[in-house]
Amino acid sequence: MILDKIRNFSIIAHVNHGKSTLADRLLEETGTIDGRNMKAQLLDMLELERERGITIKLVPVRMNYTAGDGREYILNLIDTPGHVDFTYEVSRSLAACEGAVLVVDAAQGVEAQTVANSYLAIDLNLELIPVLNKIDLPSAQPDRVKKELEDIIGINADDAVSVSAKTGEGIADLLERIVRDVPAPSGDPDAPLQALIFDSVYDNYKGVICYVRVVNGTLQPGKNIRFMATGRDYELDEVGIFRPDMVKVSELGPGEVGYIAASVKSIEEARVGDTITEARRPATVPLPGYRKVKPVVFCGFYPVEREDINQLREALEKLQINDSAISFEPENSAALGFGFRCGFLGLLHMEIAKERLSREFGVDLVATAPNVVYQIVLTNQDIIEAHKPSDFPEQVKTEEIREPFIKLTIFIPEQFVGAAMQLCQDKRGTYVSMDYITPERVRLTYDMPLAEFILDFHDKLKSCTKGYASLDYDHIGFRTANLVKVDLLLQDEPVDAFSFICHADQAYHRGHAVVGKLKELIPRQLFEIPVQAAVGKKVIVRMNIKAVRKDVLAKCYGGDITRKRKLLEKQKEGKKRMKQVGRVSIPQEAFLAFMDVTKSEEK
Amino acid sequence: MSGNANPFEPPAGGLSLYLHVPFCERKCPYCAFESKVPSEGEKDLWLEMVERELHWWEARIGRPSLATCYIGGGTPTVLSGPEWARLAEMLESHFTFDADAEVTVEANPNSLSADHLLFWREWRTTRVSIGVQSFDDAELAQLGRLHTAARACEAISASLASGFSVNADFMFGLPGQTFRNWARTLSQAAASGIAHISLYQLTIEPGTEWGSMPEDELSDGYLPYRWAQWYLPLKGFGQYEIANFAKYGHESRHNINYWKEGDYLGIGPGASGHIKGWRYKNISGLSRYSGSLKKGASAIASGERLKGSRRASEAAVLALRMKQGIEMEAFAQKYGSDEESRIIKLLEAFPEDLYSVSGNRISLTPKGMRVANRIWSELV
C-alpha cells in the first residue's frame, strides 16, 4: 500500500447538522454501497441510534475513490458521535485520522459542539475542511455561517465546500477536497509495529475485535502481537477492513485502518487507547494513548429479580466491551439487594446503556436516580469520595461537602438570553460571561454544579429556547456547597435507593415533590404506607398511601375456575415486575421519581 | 325442597351438573358470556347436540346420580315449554337424581312465563334464579335489559308463589349508579321474600359492546359492596361467599360444590367442568361445538390437571371465597402439611384484620373479602 494514496478522516458536527446523512452520500458516491442496499444512517449500527437519530458508536468504513487526477485513493472514514456526552469518543476517532470534515448546518450556523469538536481536532493537529451542509434549504445563509466560522472558531472559511447531503449536491467536490487537503499518513512499513486501538467490540466467536489504525510496521495473520499496556502476547487470527461490513485482508500496513481479532477474551486485555506491537520485535514506546475517561454520572442498576444478578453482571461486562467508558462495581442496597453502581459520561449515555441492557441483553432492571461524585471533607480532615447518597457520613462527622462544577457554554439567539439566564440561575449557576458572536447570537458562559446540569438542564434549555440553544461543557473541578442528604422513608424505614443529595435550600421543595410522586406511583397495598422525607433525623414531609379498600370481582361464572385462576396469575405477574422493599411493592418507575419530579416542575 | 339440609356437606351423590343454554332474547352490552339471539333451528340443533354430549358422557361415566343440577345461560327461559320438556326428558334419561337434589333454573323476568313455572314445578326444580339486576328502571334501561322493575317484582312473586326457593342477581358499580339507588334496590330485594341474593360488579370485558369503555370511569365498587356486607346480614342474609348472601339453609349447594372442588359436569357450548382434579372447558360457539359432536368427537376444547403446589393454591383460593374458609386439617390431609404451612405463612403476611383463624379454620374477614383478589393473587 502506498501511503500517499491513503486519506484518513473523520466527520465532526454538532448534533443534527447532517453528519450521518453526509456519510451516507459519501458511501454512495464512492460506490462503497450501492443505492439499493442503502438504508438511511447506514453507519449507525445500533437500532437505538437510528431510532433517536443520533450516533453513539464509532463505525469506520473504507472507500475506494478515483480522483480527478485519475489515481485511485483509499479513503477511511471514521464516524464520530455527536452528543456532548460522547466527546471522549470523538477524540478517540480523531486520533486515528489526519483530517476532519467539519460540517456546519448552513441555516443554523456554528453551534456549541461545532466549536468544541473543532478545537479537539485542531489540538490533535488535524487538517480541517469546513463544509456548509443543507445549502438546499431556503433558509441557508452560507455567507453568514462562513463569517461565524471565521469569527468564532478562527478558521479560514473562504473555500468552505457547499453541499447538500440530502440532494447530493457538492459531494463530488468534497471528495476531491478530502484527497487534496487531508495529509497522507506517514509511517514506515519496516519499523517495529505500532498500531493504535481506537475502539473495540465483542464478537461471540472471535472474541474482542479491536479497531486499529496502523502507524508503523504491518499486521498479518499468524504474527504474534503484544498489547503494550498489559504486555500480554496473542497470535493474530484475522485482520481486515470495513466496507463497512468486516472483510478479511492479508495484511494492514502503515496508515491503514481496519480491525484485528486475536481470540482476546476480555476487554481488560485489549484496552482502547493501547498500542499493539509485535512480540518478536516490539516497539520501544507506545503511541500516545488517551487518558482513561472518568465517569461523571453514577446510578445504581439492580435486577428486578434478585436471582438475576449474574445475568446483569454478564450483560454489563459485555456492554463494557463495546463501550469502555462505562464503569461498574458491585454494590449492595438494603432496599434493592445486590446490584451495581455504574458510571457514565452523561445522562444520555446512562439512558442508552439502560436501554441497551434491556433490548440487547434482555435484562429487566431497576435504575436508581443518577447522581454525581461528591468529595466530603471529614472533621478529621480526611477526604472521601461519595458515589452514592449512602456513602455520605453522618452530618456531625462532615466538615465540608464539595461537588463537581462544569463550565457551561451556551449558544443562543439573542431573544432567548433572558430565559436561558433565568434557567442557569435556577440551576445554581454562576454567571461568567456573555458576548455577542453575531448581532443575533449570544454566547453565554456559566459555572454550574454538574448535579444540576445532569438532572434535566438540557431538556429545559431546549424547551425555554424553542430548541435553538446549543451547549457544551468542560469539567472544572470541585467546589464547596451547602448540600444535604435527603432520606426517604417507607413505613418508617429509610429506603436507601430513594435517598438523594441536594442543596439545603431545596431540600423541602424536592422532598415534598418526591414524596408526592412516590405517593402517586406506588400503588395502594393492603396496608397504609406512610411516606416521609427526612434530613438527618428531622422529618420534613409526610404523606400516607392509603390501603386498598376494594379489589374483588366476584364473577366466576358457571364454574369456569381455570379462567379465574389465570387472571389471578396474571395479576401476580404484574406484581412480580415490581420491586419488593420490605412488605411494600414498588414499581420500577418509582426509583426514578426524583427525576420525574424535577422534569414535571416546568409544566 | 332442599330446605334445611346443611349446605356445606359434599353433595351426597357427589356429582353436579351445569348445563349451558347459549341463547338470549337480546345480547346485553356488557355481557361476555357464551350467548346469542337464536336464529331459526338453532335451539333444535343445540338440544340435539346436548343429547349427543350426554351420550358421550354416559358412555364413559354411566348414569350417575346428581346431587345438584343448574341450568344457566344465556337465558334458559327463551326455551319454550315443549323445548323444556325435551330437555328434562334428556336429563332424566341420562342421569338419576338424588332424592333431595337441588335443581336450579335461571330465569329472565321478561321471558319467564306461567308455563315455565308450571313445568318446573312438575319437573323436580327446587330453585329459580332470576336476573333482576336492579330495581331502578333507568339502570335497567342503561344495562339494555328488556324488563322493568315492576316486571321483575312480578317474576319474583310468581316464582315464590310456585313454591320455589328464589335467588335474584343484582349488579353494582354501574356508571351513574347512585348509592341511594343501590340501597333502595337492596332493601326492596331483602323485603321481596327471596331467600338468596347474588351480587355482581360490572366489569368491562373486551369484545363486548361496552368493551371500549374506559375502566377508570367505573367506580371501584367499594361503597355498594361495603353496604351490602353491612345491610344484608341485618336483614337475615348471611354472606356465605364472596358474591352470595342467603337466608340460613338457602345457600346454593351447587355453588358451594364449585368452591369445595367438587365434581361437576359442564354440558353445552363453552361450559366448564371438573372431575377428580381434572378441569375442562367445552368448545365455544354453537357451530364449532356441534361440528365436533357431529363427527362423533367430544365437545371438550381443553383440559388441565393441576399438580402439587398449584393445585393446593387453587384449592385454597376457592375455599377462601367462602365464609367457612379453609378447613386446615382436611387441607393438610389432601395436599400435605408442607402446602398447609406454605398457605398459612402466606396468609400470615397480610394485615391481621383481613383474615381470621378460628379453631381449625382460616377464612377471610368481611374486610378481607373486599380485597380478596389481592390476597388470592399472592396465593396462586
Which member of A555, A562, A569 has the closest CB to residue B279? A562
Contact B220 A552 (CB under 8 A): no
Nearest-CA distance from A385 to chain B in Å? 40
Given this model, what pLDDT does residue A371 score?
85
Q: How confident is the model at residue A572 (pLDDT cuts 50, 70, 90)?
A: confident
Given this model, what pLDDT does residue A424 score?
95
Among candidate residues A183, A176, A171, A178, the one with its CA nearest the CA of residue A26: A171
Given this model, what pLDDT does residue A16 score?
74
Contact A571 B373 (CB under 8 A): yes
B367 phi and psi angles, rounded to 5 deg? -65, -40
Which of A525, A526, A548, A584 to mutate to probe the B interface, most B CBs <10 Å? A526
Q: What percent of chain A has pLDDT over 90?
A: 36
* Other residues' Cβ atoms within 10 Å of the Cβ of residue A183: 15
Residues of B with CB under 8 A from a CB of A: 18, 20, 33, 72, 199-201, 203, 220-222, 225-226, 242-243, 258, 264, 266, 271-274, 279, 281, 304, 314, 317-318, 321, 349-351, 354, 369-378, 380
Q: How confident is the model at residue B115 (pLDDT cuts 50, 70, 90)?
A: very high
Q: Residue A580 pLDDT more than 70?
A: yes
Say if CB B353 and CB B293 are below 8 A apart.
no
The rounded distance, in Å, linking the Cα atoms of A377 and A308 is 37
- Taking residues A453-475, what's their average pLDDT? 81
**E strands, A204-323, where?**
207-216, 224-227, 232-235, 238-242, 246-249, 257-261, 275-278, 297-303
Q: How confident is the model at residue B50 (pLDDT cuts 50, 70, 90)?
A: very high
Three-class SS state of A10 = strand
Q: Residues A151-186: pLDDT tens digits?
A: 888 888 888 999 998 888 999 999 999 999 999 998
Establish if A603 touches chain B: CB-CB under 8 angstroms. Answer: no
Grid cell 477511511 in the structure block, residue? A76
Grid cell 439573542 in the structure block, residue? A414
Judging contacts by C-beta atoms under 8 Å, the chain B residues touching residue A576 are none
Given this model, what pLDDT does residue B3 score?
35
Judging contacts by C-beta atoms under 8 Å, the chain A residues touching residue B220 are 549-550
Which of A528, A529, A560 to mutate to probe the B interface, most B CBs <10 Å? A560
Given this model, what pLDDT does residue A168 score?
87
Given this model, what pLDDT does residue B170 score?
96
- Taking residues B197-206, what's their average pLDDT? 89
Q: Residue B8 pLDDT more than 50?
A: no
Alpha helical stretches, state H, A283-333: 309-322
What value does the CA radius of gyration of chain B take, rounded to a whole number of Å?
21
**A196-200, B47-51, B358-362: least confident range:** A196-200
Q: Residue A121 pLDDT more than 90?
A: no
- Greater pLDDT, A337 or B285: B285
Which member of B20, B201, B314 has the closest CB to residue A558? B20
Nearest-CA distance from A526 to chain B in Å? 7
The rounded distance, in Å, linking the Cα atoms of B369 and B380 is 16
**Of A68-77, A386-395, A554-563, which has the strongest mean pLDDT?**
A68-77
Establish if A551 touches chain B: CB-CB under 8 angstroms. Answer: yes
Mean pLDDT taken over chain A: 85
Nearest-CA distance from A568 to chain B in Å? 5
Which value does ipTM take for this structure? Answer: 0.85
Among candidate residues B315, B314, B316, B322, the one with its CA nearest the CA of residue B369: B322
Q: Residues A324-364: pLDDT tens digits?
A: 778 899 988 877 889 999 998 888 788 888 888 888 888 88
Contact A551 B225 (CB under 8 A): no
The rounded distance, in Å, linking the Cα atoms of A125 and A122 is 5
Judging contacts by C-beta atoms under 8 Å, the chain B residues touching residue A557 are 33
**E strands, A21-126, where?**
60-66, 72-78, 99-105
Establish if A557 touches chain B: CB-CB under 8 angstroms. Answer: yes
pTM over 0.80: no
Q: How many CA atoms lie within 13 A of B99 on its CB side?
A: 1
The rounded distance, in Å, linking the Cα atoms of A513 and A495 is 17
Q: What angle do CA B310, B311, B313 make, to 5 degrees?
A: 65
Q: Residue A153: is it exposed, middle or buried by C-beta count within 10 angstroms (0-12/13-18/19+)? A: buried
Q: Residues A239-276: pLDDT tens digits?
A: 999 887 889 999 999 999 999 999 888 777 887 788 99
Contact A554 B200 (CB under 8 A): yes
Q: Residue B12 pLDDT more than 50?
A: no
The rounded distance, in Å, linking the Cα atoms of B113 and B107 is 9
Q: How confident is the model at residue B4 (pLDDT cuts 50, 70, 90)?
A: very low
Could you give the C-alpha distances from A80 to A96, A103, A133, in angstroms and in order?
12, 12, 17
**A551-555, B18-22, B150-154, B242-246: least confident range:** A551-555
Say if CB B90 and CB B54 are below 8 A apart.
yes
Q: Output DSSP code: residue B255.
A: H
Alpha helical stretches, state H, chain B: 42-61, 81-94, 114-122, 137-142, 149-161, 179-191, 222-234, 253-259, 286-294, 308-319, 328-335, 337-348, 366-370, 372-379
Q: How confident is the model at residue B10 (pLDDT cuts 50, 70, 90)?
A: very low
Q: Residue A232 pLDDT more than 80?
A: yes
Contact A552 B225 (CB under 8 A): yes
Grid cell 356488557 in the structure block, residue? B30
Q: Work out how many CB contacts closer than 8 A connect A with B.
A: 95
Q: Residues A367-377: pLDDT tens digits?
A: 888 888 899 99
Given this model, what pLDDT does residue A359 score?
84
Judging contacts by C-beta atoms under 8 Å, the chain B residues touching residue A562 are 272, 279, 281, 304
- Taking residues A438-445, what's their average pLDDT? 87
Establish if A180 touches chain B: CB-CB under 8 angstroms. Answer: no
- Greater pLDDT, A349 or B357: B357
Q: Residues B207-263: pLDDT tens digits?
A: 888 888 776 677 788 999 999 999 999 999 999 999 999 999 999 999 999 999 999
Establish if A571 touches chain B: CB-CB under 8 angstroms. Answer: yes
H-helix or E-strand spanning residue A113: helix A112-123
The rounded distance, in Å, linking the Cα atoms of B376 and B317 is 6
